[in-house]
Amino acid sequence: MNVDVILAAIKDVVPTPAALHEPLIDGNAWAYVKDCLDSGWVSSVGSYVDRLEQDLAVLTGAKFAVATVNGTAALHCCLLLAGVESGDEVLMPSLTFIATANAASYCGAIPHFVECEELTLGVDPIKLAEYLNDIVDIRGGKAVNRQSGRTVRALVCMHTFGHPADLDPLIKICGELGIVLVEDAAESLGSMYKGHHCGTQTSLAALSFNGNKIVTSGGGGAILTNDEALAKKAKHITTTAKVSHKWNFNHDQIGFNYRLPNVNAAIGCAQLESLPKFLASKRHLAEQYITAFENVPDVKVFKEPKHATSNYWLNTILLDKASTSNLETLLEATNSTGTMTRPAWNLMHRLPMYDSCPCMNLEVSENLSARILNVPSSARLGDL
């Protein structure tokens, strides 16, 4: 592999220096934040929170959206609402951000890592079906891991770097086994799977508006659901489980202060208005990378899966299997010359707190994580 050729191809597309993903705060953000500051409604109650929830429902087609303080909190509540209890197992890819595994741990559950496929970078439905067929018994309508004796309550599928996982077969597998499918859609705002927005075809999904995501509210997240009862519960447990009353402080269960401040929601509302522009710009940037790397040997630019329209949150250069030994050199060469690149996350089953969790054969995940190089992907680099 010729590292200089790869470096040159990246520098053909983006200026130096370039961050991996920086926010582009534009449009009405200043006006909406000023409105919060002027009115004093800066904290956990205010009209921008309601508006953000409505705007998200309209944008995604989900019936309900509940804003949260961050994506991890949204994911934690999704799992609680999915019925995840202490001692349950939660299936999830090992190739994911730490929040996916931590959210299961916060419920007292045990992450159980499953394999990804190269086509989508998400959970491999064929291997998952075979695996569950081997290890799961149905007892009293529940999926039970025959090896551990624990209930397999949920599967979290994650749409890696904004590329939708193959949802249809996952929905089918989970439906047959009585496993709740939850989407970690933190990276996939604006991504479509067969014409449906990610996070709207399953019972619960989590979004993130962290500073590095396609749309940011400074920090924030949301729960998407089509189920009115779940939406009400989501609102309740994320807002300290307070029973509405003119003056009494009454709480009917242990809730969380996972409320999104209004000032953050205000930024989020403005950012959502810019999302169509960001999506166009990021698609353009992806096309530029694809063109620049067309004739570069030993690597390819990851393209959106069939049946999907990705948001291209992060652009990924995928090294050939024979070139994995060059990943460190590439990271060094780019980062030391002002082009910020990052590898994939360390796989969850390699981390000390999760290395004894159950897992299936993770050959492909291991392989992918040694081949992924994420390159500068900020919306402003799309040059539209």
Ligand X SMILES: *Cc1c(COP(=O)(O)O)cnc(C)c1O
Using CB under 6 A as the binding rule, the residues of this chain from 196 to 225 that contact ligand X are 208, 210, 221
Q: For residues 94 and 96, which CB has a smaller minimum distance to ligand X in the complex? A: 96
CB atoms within 10 A of CB 59: 16
Compute CA distances 101 → 28, 95, 246, whole Å: 35, 10, 39
**Of 91 and 143, which has the nearer Cβ to ligand X?**
91
What is the closest distance, in whole angstroms, from the C-beta atom of residue 220 to ligand X in the complex? 7
Q: Is the dihedral of CA 338, 344, 345, 350 positive or negative?
A: negative
Cβ-proximal residue to ligand X, closest one: 71
Within residues 39-68, the interface with ligand X by CB under 6 A covers none
Q: How far is the CB of 361 from ligand X (least distance, A)?
A: 22
Of the candidate spans 20-28, 91-99, 237-245, 272-280, the one that interacts with ligand X by CB under 6 A turns out to be 91-99
Provide, rounded to whole angstroms, the least separation between the CB of residue 203 and ligand X.
18
Minimum distance from residue 40 beta carbon to ligand X (Å): 26
Q: Are strands 221-225 and 64-68 parallel, antiparallel or unpaired?
A: antiparallel
Q: Give the residue among 11, 17, 58, 6 at the shortest CA–CA distance from 297.
A: 6
Stretch in the footprint of ligand X (CB under 6 A) among 57-65, 96-104, 118-126, 169-177: 96-104
Residue 16 beta carbon to ligand X: minimum distance, rounded to whole angstroms: 26
Q: Tell the smallest beta-carbon distance from residue 265 to ligand X (Å).
A: 14
Number of residues that bind ligand X (CB under 6 A): 15
Q: Judged by CB under 6 A, does residue 311 bind ligand X?
A: no
Q: How far is residue 266's CA from residue 218's CA, in Å, rounded to a whole number?
A: 10
Alpha carbons 94 and 341: distance in angstroms, whole number = 21
Question: Measured between alpha carbons, how far is 95 from 368 in angstroms, rounded to an integer?
Answer: 8
208 residue type, one letter:
S
- Cα-based distances in Å from 203 to 69, 129, 162, 178, 329: 21, 20, 19, 13, 43
Place of tokens 């970690």: 184
Question: Which of residues 60, 94, 96, 203 is near ligand X by CB under 6 A?
Answer: 96
- Residue selected from 23, 46, 71, 382 as contacting ligand X according to rule CB under 6 A: 71
- Alpha-carbon distances of 277 from 12, 104, 284, 299, rounded to whole Å: 23, 35, 11, 29
Sign of the CA dihedral with 186 first, then 187, 190, and 194 last:
negative
Q: Does 187 bind ligand X (CB under 6 A)?
A: yes
Determine, following the binding rule CB under 6 A, whether residue 97 of this chain makes contact with ligand X. Answer: yes
Closer residue to ligand X, CB minimum distance, 100 or 151: 100
Tally of CA atoms within 13 A in the half-sphere of 145 that contains its CB:
22
Q: Which is nearer to ligand X, 187 or 304 (CB)?
A: 187
184 lies in the binding site for ligand X (CB under 6 A): yes
List binders of ligand X among 143-182 (CB under 6 A): 158
Choosing from 99, 143, 272, 344, the residue that interacts with ligand X (CB under 6 A) is: 99
Please identify which residue in 84, 110, 186, 215 interacts with ligand X, judged by CB under 6 A: 186
Helix (H) or strand (E) holding 276: helix 262-292
Binding site for ligand X (CB under 6 A): 70-72, 75, 96-97, 99-100, 158, 184, 186-187, 208, 210, 221
